[in-house]
Each structure stands twice: as C-alpha cells, then as structure tokens.
C-alpha cells in the first residue's frame, strides 16, 4: 500500500465530492501545509470512508489555505481514500483503518507505521482524528491518556468525553504515546454543527502557544469510561419495534446515548428463553448478568449506566456492536 506526499491541499478539493476523491488523492496521502510556526498540528481524516465530516474539514482547510499560510503548520493524513470513493467504512479485503496503528504485518500496518514515523519525527503539537457516529449522539471527544493537555482538547471540543485504553490499535492510542491526542466524534454525517465544532477545535489548537498544563474543571468536561460493548446474538432476529422478531429493541434507543440511565430502564423485549443481548468488557469477559435482566419477556437495565454509540443501523449492529455502556469517571487527575 503506497503513501503519497503533498506539500499543499489540492485546490480542486473545493469542487470535489467524496466519491470523486481518487481523482485528487489516488492513494492514502500525507499532506504538509507550512504554517507561521512549528511543530505541526496533526489532523487525521478519512479513516472511515463513509464518514463525511472529515472530508468537509479537508475541503474547508483547502479553501482557507489556498493562498495564505495557517498560523501553525499542519500535517494532514487522508486515510482510506478508496473506501471514501465508495462511501463505505472500509472495502472488502481491507482492515478498519482505525485498527491498524499497533503493529502487525499487513501492508496497511506498514502504511500506518510510515505515517506515524514521519509524524513522530516532527514532534506534533497535538493530534486530532475526525469521525462521525451512525447513531444519534451528542458531540464528544475520546482520549486515551488522562493528561491535562488531552483533557483540555476534549473540553475544547465538547463538554462530554470518553476515556478508553482498548482497542489499543486506534490512531489516537498510537499518537498519545508521543503527543496530546484526541478522536472527535462529530455526530452523524451531514451534521453541520459537527463540522463547525471540528474546525473550531482545529483553530483553537492551532492558535494556542502551548496546550494548558492544568486539567479542565468539572463543569467544562464530564468524562466517562467505557465498561463494555453490547452485542446482539448473531443467531437471533432483531428489530426496533417490529413485533415479529425475537428481539424487539425500543425505537428511541439511540436517543439514550450519553443519558445517565437509572436501574430498571426498559430497553426492549424478547421471546427467547436466553437473553439475546450480551455485554463484553475490553478483555471479552461476559458482564451481561450485571447489566441486563429479562423478566416476563421485558429486558431492563439492572444497574445505572450511560450508553454511548447506540445505533439503529442493522449492518453496524451485525458487523460491530449495538453500542457501549459507560460509567462516569471520577476526577482523579
Ligand atoms: Zn469513524
């Protein structure tokens, strides 16, 4: 897998749609934009080809810096351009481009290593990776190290944050080893406030002389920790509110994202003798009986929890998961 290098964002990006991207960027590309000062801000885009906010950010940056220099140099990675051209998260035969950053022996890992090697040598000011959710979620940032600078990046983006250490193969996990790093979740595709929030974070970070050395206040950032991911039994049929399936989830499930739910919250119903939902922690230990109960066919939450990334997208639920359960992280930093 080849990595291309450019010294400017292609000016024609402005008139290009995501599906036409291969005309401008036929391969994964690392774009250096010289600014008024260094070190550069690293911006990661298009790791998931069906998420359009990072493409809109690329387009906005191309327009903005067509004939002037940014206040800080930028190093921009455009990742899975082939999947972007097909509006797919990834193509058959490809790995998830946000799971290739912790070593391995595929050509995709070699590509990620090369990007990381070049970035690390420049000692980036910070790293921002831009994503969308498939379900309805408020905007939030994910961080991997409880450092003041990383926490501040999260607070600058949105008042909600998620801390995780697993999976270890994501871009922000790799970059957090050598610079403050954040993954931003900018709502669903087409959410214009998500694009604005991403650009605002880039601007604020780019213009900062240094990142803060004190953590944000409670009121500026509510931080959660992932407890487990929720899987639907692959053998069972499921739906949102349709009576004929074995698992019937409530139709407003993805409106519960980032809501602190009390014990007893109903989630749906099932005709199965065994619960067709599972909760697995980061080590794939089964936590289901701690979180879900089925009584007379009704499925309820057994203890208080806060869901995130709950989606109603059937393909995502089958390929990945239904969503995550989190708990608030006490401020220990
Ligand atoms: Zn993504």
Length, in residues, of the chain: 333
pLDDT at 333: 57
Cα 68 to middle of ligand 1, angstroms:
30
Name all contacts of 6-12 with Cβ < 8 Å and 24+ positions apart. Answer: 6/30, 6/31, 6/32, 7/31, 7/32, 7/33, 7/34, 8/33, 8/65, 9/33, 9/58, 9/61, 9/62, 9/65, 9/66, 9/76, 10/62, 11/62, 11/66
Cα 133 to middle of ligand 1, angstroms:
7
Q: Domain 4-220 sits in which CATH superfamily?
A: Zn peptidases (3.40.630.10)
Cα 79 to middle of ligand 1, angstroms:
11
Residue 150 CA to its chain's centroid (Å): 15
On whether the CB atoms of residues 217 and 82 are closer than 8 A, the answer is no
Per the structure block, which two tokens stand in for 52?
A: 């359009």
Cα 239 to middle of ligand 1, angstroms:
24
Cα 294 to middle of ligand 1, angstroms:
32
pLDDT at 316: 87
Beta bridge partners of 269: 248, 298
Cα 297 to middle of ligand 1, angstroms:
34
Cα 201 to middle of ligand 1, angstroms:
18
On whether the CB atoms of residues 232 and 276 are closer than 8 A, the answer is yes
Per the structure block, which two tokens stand in for 299?
A: 């499925």
pLDDT at 332: 62
Cα 274 to middle of ligand 1, angstroms:
32
Cα 185 to middle of ligand 1, angstroms:
8
Buried b (16+ CB within 10 A) or exposed e, 262-288: eeebebbbbeeeebbbbbeeeeeeebb
Q: Is 306 exposed, middle or buried (0-12, 13-18, 19+ CB in 10 A)?
A: buried
Separation of alpha carbons 280 and 68, rounded Å:
49
Give one DSSP letter per residue of 20-62, joined into a string: GGGGT-SS-EEEEE--SSSSPEEEEE-SSTT--HHHHHHHHHH
Cα 27 to middle of ligand 1, angstroms:
19
On whether the CB atoms of residues 4 and 52 are closer than 8 A, the answer is no
Cα 169 to middle of ligand 1, angstroms:
13
Cα 195 to middle of ligand 1, angstroms:
14
pLDDT at 258: 95
On whether the CB atoms of residues 232 and 317 are closer than 8 A, the answer is yes
Cα 132 to middle of ligand 1, angstroms:
5
Cα 84 to middle of ligand 1, angstroms:
12
Cα 166 to middle of ligand 1, angstroms:
15
Q: In the chain, where does the domain assigned CATH 3.40.630.10 lie?
A: 4-220
Residue-wise pLDDT tens for the chain (333 aa)?
899 999 999 999 999 999 999 999 999 999 999 999 999 999 999 999 999 999 999 999 999 999 999 999 999 999 999 999 999 999 999 999 999 999 998 999 999 999 999 999 999 999 999 999 988 999 999 999 999 999 999 999 999 999 998 889 999 999 999 999 999 999 999 999 999 999 999 999 999 999 999 999 989 999 999 999 999 999 999 999 988 999 999 999 999 999 999 999 999 999 999 999 999 998 899 999 999 999 889 999 999 999 999 999 998 899 889 999 999 997 765
Cα 205 to middle of ligand 1, angstroms:
21
Separation of alpha carbons 128 and 182, rounded Å:
5
Separation of alpha carbons 173 and 149, rounded Å:
15
Cα 310 to middle of ligand 1, angstroms:
14
pLDDT at 1: 84
Separation of alpha carbons 167 and 174, rounded Å:
11
**Residue of 132, 158, 153, 156 whose CA lies nearest to 143:** 153
CB neighbourhood size of 219 (10 A): 8
Cα 243 to middle of ligand 1, angstroms:
32
């Amino acid at each position: 897998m080849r990595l291309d290098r450019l010294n400017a964002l292609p000016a024609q990006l402005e008139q290009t749609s995501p599906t036409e991207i291969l005309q401008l960027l036929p391969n994964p590309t690392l774009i250096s934009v010289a600014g008024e000062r260094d070190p550069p801000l690293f911006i990661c885009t298009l790791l998931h080809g069906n998420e359009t906010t990072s493409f809109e950010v690329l387009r906005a940056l191309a327009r903005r810096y067509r004939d002037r220099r940014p206040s800080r140099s930028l190093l921009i990675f455009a990742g899975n351009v082939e999947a972007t051209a097909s509006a797919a998260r990834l193509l058959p035969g490809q790995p998830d481009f946000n799971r290739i950053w912790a070593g391995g022996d595929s050509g995709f890992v070699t590509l990620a290593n090369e990007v990381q090697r070049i970035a690390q040598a420049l000692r980036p000011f910070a790293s921002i990776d831009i994503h969308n959710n498939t379900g309805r979620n408020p905007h939030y940032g994910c961080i991997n190290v409880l450092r003041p600078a990383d926490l501040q990046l999260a607070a600058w983006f949105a008042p909600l944050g998620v801390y995780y250490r697993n999976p270890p193969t994501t871009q922000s996990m790799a970059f957090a080893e050598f610079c403050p790093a954040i993954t931003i979740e900018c709502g669903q595709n087409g959410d214009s406030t998500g694009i604005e929030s991403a650009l605002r974070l880039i601007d604020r970070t780019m213009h900062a002389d240094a990142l803060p050395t004190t953590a944000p206040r409670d009121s500026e950032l509510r931080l959660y920790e992932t407890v487990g991911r929720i899987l639907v039994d692959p053998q069972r049929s499921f739906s949102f509110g349709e009576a004929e399936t074995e698992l019937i989830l409530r139709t407003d499930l993805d409106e519960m994202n980032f809501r602190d739910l009390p014990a007893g919250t109903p989630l749906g119903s099932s005709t199965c003798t065994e619960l067709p939902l599972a909760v697995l922690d980061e080590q794939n230990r089964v936590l289901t009986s701690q979180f879900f109960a089925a009584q007379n066919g009704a499925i309820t939450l057994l203890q208080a929890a806060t869901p995130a990334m709950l989606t109603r997208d059937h393909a995502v639920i089958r390929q990945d998961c239904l969503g995550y359960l989190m708990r608030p992280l006490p401020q220990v930093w």
